[in-house]
Amino acid sequence: MASSLRIHSLSPAWRFALIGVSASLPATVVLNWLPDSQATVGGSAMIVGAFIAGGLAATRSADSGATGLRAGLLGGVIGLLTFVVTVDTTAPWPVSRVLFWGLSGIAVLCVAPLFGLGCGRLGGWVANAVISDSKTGAETS
């Protein structure tokens, strides 16, 4: 007998954040086709991914700010991992350089969720505005 109970191991906010960040990867490719574009994977996940995640959360009655915050954190982590993977390790690294990049990484992990929070709320606001406009447009027709 199959149970109709679905068990999700992730909260809705984390699920929507992962979906938004995943959807932002093709958006990064499209943005990089534009002239003079310097879009990065981490920045795109932090801004575009949080916007998409906030819109999804708003349509599913979840908190778009919390979802955007999580997507921003994921974008910051992706940005730091991208930097760590591409850093030149052949040159000697004095303690001051390691300290600077370590503190900068901590700052990125503190600021990225705030960008995600703002973009997630913006995405939720846009989704709610589009939904309410479509409902009022259908009533007036």
- What is the band of 12 on the pLDDT scale with cuts at 50, 70, 90? confident
Burial track 14-41 (b if 16+ CB lie within 10 A, e otherwise): bbbbbbbbebbeebbeebeeeeeeebbb
Amino acid letter for position 11:
S
Q: What pLDDT digit, counting tens, does each position of 76-122 carry?
A: 999 999 888 888 777 788 899 889 989 999 999 999 999 999 999 99
Compute the distance between CA of residue 49 and CA of residue 55 in angstroms, rounded to an integer: 10
Domain ranges of the chain: 12-140
pLDDT for the residue numbered 141: 52
Dist CA 107 CA 121 (whole Å): 22
Sign of CA dihedral 7, 66, 120, 77: negative
- Kindly report the average pLDDT of the chain as a whole number: 87
**At residue 73, does pLDDT exceed 90?**
yes
Name the band, by pLDDT with cuts 50, 70 and 90, for residue 140.
low
Supply the pTM of this predicted model.
0.82
Q: What pLDDT does 24 receive?
A: 92
Neighbouring C-beta atoms of residue 51, cutoff 10 Å: 27
Residue 3 has pLDDT above 60, yes or no: no
- The answer for residues whose C-beta is within 8 angstroms of residue 55's C-beta and 6 or more apart is 64, 123, 124, 126, 127
